[in-house]
């Protein structure tokens, strides 16, 4: 494996970590209901944990209410429990074969809770980026050990990977700051 390949792989994986964070931040609500809100909630489906949208139809009933309609009636209680137990602070109620998920208005305390969730998501993304840096540097050290590159090339590559890491961590911080501002706006 060449040094350029190691750097390119590390950059690609770091970019994917940032994209995943963007997707996760989009799911944190800012007062309005949207169907993507429940995408990361998982439910037990015959022994395996699957996302809600694979076992039910998630729709928007109105601006502040989601509707979850399971494709199998026996999944109703499991879906309701999964939404209730999620970190979203929602209180679903079953009505016939439909689960209504009203969005409570965002109070100051709830906004602060959501900011904690957002900070946790961004910290997880930073850890992922740092782990990718660690793995890339370990690969470079292995290449040096096996005499596949010179010490100077290895040091330059480590510096480049550190710059990549710093760039992506700064991007994560920017995304976090933007989401915090969005959450605190009334």
10-19, 21-30, 129-138, 160-169 — which is least confidently predicted? 21-30
Per DSSP (E only), the strands in the chain are 42-45, 48-51, 56-62, 65-70, 93-95, 98-102
138 confidence band (pLDDT: 50, 70, 90): very high
DSSP state of 145: H
Rg of the chain (C-alpha set)? 21
The label of the residue with tokens 């039910």 reads: 56
Alpha helices in 28-107 (DSSP H): 76-85
Residue range(s) of every CATH 3.30.1360.40 domain in the chain: 32-102
114 confidence band (pLDDT: 50, 70, 90): confident
Average pLDDT for 16-37? 79
Residue range 39-88, pLDDT digits in tens? 778 888 888 888 888 888 888 888 788 888 888 888 888 888 888 888 77
Residue range(s) of every CATH 1.10.132.20 domain in the chain: 3-26+107-184
Is the distance from CB of 102 to CB of 64 less than 8 angstroms? yes
**Per-residue pLDDT, 31:** 62
**Per-residue pLDDT, 29:** 66
**Mean pLDDT score of the chain:** 87
**Per-residue pLDDT, 16:** 95
Is the distance from CB of 69 to CB of 98 less than 8 angstroms? yes
10-19, 73-82, 166-175 — which is least confidently predicted? 73-82
Q: In this structure, how many other beta carbons lie within 10 angstroms of the beta carbon of residue 90?
A: 19
CATH topology of domain 3-26+107-184: Topoisomerase I; Chain A, domain 4 (1.10.132)
Pick the CATH number of 32-102 from 3.30.1360.40, 1.10.10.60, 1.20.810.10, 3.40.50.2300: 3.30.1360.40
């Amino acid at each position: 494996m060449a040094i350029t390949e190691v750097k390119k792989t590390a950059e690609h994986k770091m970019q994917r970590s940032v994209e995943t964070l963007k997707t996760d931040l989009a799911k944190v609500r800012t007062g309005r209901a949207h169907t993507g809100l429940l995408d990361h909630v998982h439910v037990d489906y015959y022994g395996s944990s699957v996302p809600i949208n694979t076992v039910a139809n998630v729709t928007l009933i109105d601006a502040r209410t989601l509707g979850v309609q399971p494709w199998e009636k026996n999944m109703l209680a499991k879906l309701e429990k999964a939404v209730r137990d999620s970190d979203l602070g929602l209180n679903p109620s079953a009505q016939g074969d439909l689960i209504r998920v009203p969005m409570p208005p965002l109070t100051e305390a709830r906004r602060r809770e959501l900011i904690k969730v957002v900070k946790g998501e961004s910290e997880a993304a930073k850890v992922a980026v740092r782990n990718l840096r660690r793995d890339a540097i370990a690969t470079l050290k292995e290449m040096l050990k096996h005499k596949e590159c010179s010490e100077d090339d290895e040091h330059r590559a480590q510096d480049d990977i550190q710059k990549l890491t710093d760039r992506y961590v700064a991007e994560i911080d920017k995304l976090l700051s933007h989401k915090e501002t969005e959450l605190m706006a009334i």
